[in-house]
Structure 1
Amino acid sequence: MPRVIFHKNGQTFEDEIKTGSNLVVRAGIKQFPYPHLSYECGMGKCARCACEVLAGAEHLPPPNWKEKKQLGDRLEQGYRLACQLWLEHDIELRQEPTA
């Protein structure tokens, strides 16, 4: 089971999730890391779920066209859309507070 470490607002949240889980789906059904993960559409259209990948990026698939369109240069800075990631391995993410 993948271990997720999630940083937001100076706090760190840690938990294990079922292999193949998506954090936005889990947040939507009130599971980890609810209510801390910011998200909106869940379909890669709004980029509200953008997170910086601090560890585990080597296990993620290449960015899809939605991530390329929404994140642009932020991809090179290590950002990904949480709604587009189905996690198979440990990951550490940081999400900036939203206004």
Structure 2
Amino acid sequence: MPTVIFHKNGSAYEGEVRPNTNLVVRAGIKQFPFPHLSYGCGMGKCAKCTCKVLAGAENLGTPNWKEKKQLGDKLDQGYRLACQLWIQHDVELVQEDPPGA
């Protein structure tokens, strides 16, 4: 099973997920990485679930049109929308709250 390492505000959380798992769906049903993952609509419209991929990007699908629209040049910096990712292999992500949040 894939291992997910999720960094948030200086802390790291690790858990295993089944292949073809979406982290926003899991957080919505109060499983790992709940309550640490920030997310909103779950449909790629709000970008609240934006994360930077630290490791495992090569195993993620190609960014879809929603990610291209929301993230633009940030895709080149390693950012992805967690709601649009289906985890098949180990991945390490970081998500920081915006200043003043």
TM-score class normalised by the smaller sequence: over 0.9
RMSD: 0.6
2:94 matched residue in structure 1: 94
Q: Name the counterpart of 2:59.
A: 59
Segments of structure 2 that go 5 or more residues without pairing to the other structure are: none
State the shift of 1:59 in Å: 0.5
Partner of 1:5: 5
Q: Percent same amino acid at aligned positions? A: 74
Matched residues in 2 for 1:84 and 1:61: separation? 9
Residues in 2 aligned to 1:68 and 1:94: alpha-carbon distance in whole angstroms:
19
TM-score by length of 2: 0.96
Give the paired residue count: 99
Q: TM-score, normalised by structure 1?
A: 0.98
Note the C-alpha offset of 1:97. Answer: 1.3
Unaligned runs of at least 5 residues, structure 1: none
| 1:48 alignment partner in structure 2 | 48
Q: Which residue of 2 aligns with 1:85?
A: 85
